[in-house]
Amino acid sequence: MSAAGEIPDGTTPIDPDEREGLRFKHVTTRGELDQLEQVNIQNGLRWLRRRRRSDMLTEAFMRELHRRLFGEVWSWAGTFRRTEKNIGVDPIQISVQLRMLLDDARFWVENDTYAPLEAAARFHHRLVQIHCFANGNGRHARIAADVYLRECFAHAPIDWAAGHDLVKESARRDAYIAALRAADAGDYSALMAFVGAP
Ligand SMILES: Nc1ncnc2c1ncn2[C@@H]1O[C@H](COP(=O)(O)OP(=O)(O)O)[C@@H](O)[C@H]1O
Ligand SMILES: [Mg+2]
């Protein structure tokens, strides 16, 4: 929890220079911002459904997806983070680490390394661990994992929220963050249970 008491555990705080990129200067509450982002995400998902299918395991796609999901709200959407965060690699490492993840994710598909849900959960965890962007990493990486499932495995998406709101505080969100932290420590069992992997 933040000192202000309104930012749930496991989120990235926004720096003043990142706040500069907010396209709606009148926004004062977290709730207003959540709503604007939600509309943008809906538009981004519509773009995702209609786009001409391309190789998703590229830096260009990962950035474009973030821009489509958040670019109506944040001017820096789709560009990599330049500041250190409480979560994530050193900013100068983002591009290299993302490249390694995308290469690994392709290898997993080509070699049947993992069952689809396990591959997607591992992909998701490593993507949020890199933390490519200043904000929106969780939502971007959940959608990216679902694109990976559909386009590389012809598999149905993960039921991330299971009827709850993962962006706000809830028991489901607590279980999600706890599962990511266990995965940080090398134990994937809680994350596998969370995504419904057998
Ligand atoms: N310990 C952790 N290890 C890996 N990822 C984490 C951890 N804690 C939080 N996360 C991820 O970071 C996300 C929060 O980052 P943020 O950029 O604010 O995304 P969003 O704005 O979409 O919530 C969480 O939803 C989760 O996916
Ligand atoms: Mg956030």
Q: Which two tokens stand for residue 133?
A: 């962007």
Residue among 81, 180, 188 to mutate when testing ligand 1 (max atoms within 8 A of CB): 180
Q: How far apart are the first and last CA of the chain?
A: 32
Interval between CA 60 and ligand 1 midpoint (Å): 21
* C-alpha 49, offset from chain centre: 18
Interval between CA 137 and ligand 2 midpoint (Å): 7
- Write the DSSP string, 83-127: S--SSS--GGGHHHHHHHHHHHHHHHHHTT-S-HHHHHHHHHHHH
Q: Is the dihedral of CA 149, 151, 154, 156 positive or negative?
A: positive
pLDDT over 90 (residue 19): no
Q: Which two tokens stand for residue 134?
A: 């200043």
Q: Determine the 3-state secondary structure of 9 from DSSP.
A: coil
pLDDT in tens, 126-178: 999 999 999 999 999 999 999 999 999 999 999 999 888 887 788 999 999 99
Interval between CA 70 and ligand 1 midpoint (Å): 15
158 and 145 in contact (C-beta within 8 Å)?
A: yes
pLDDT at 99: 98
Least confident range of 18-22, 47-51, 108-112: 18-22
- Which-ligand-closest: CA of 87? 1
Domains of the chain (ranges; CATH) run: 16-195 (1.10.3290.10)
Residues having CB within 6 Å of any atom of ligand 1: 10-12, 87, 128-129, 135-139, 141, 167, 177, 180-181, 184
- Which-ligand-closest: CA of 88? 1
Least confident range of 39-53, 109-123, 136-150, 160-174: 160-174
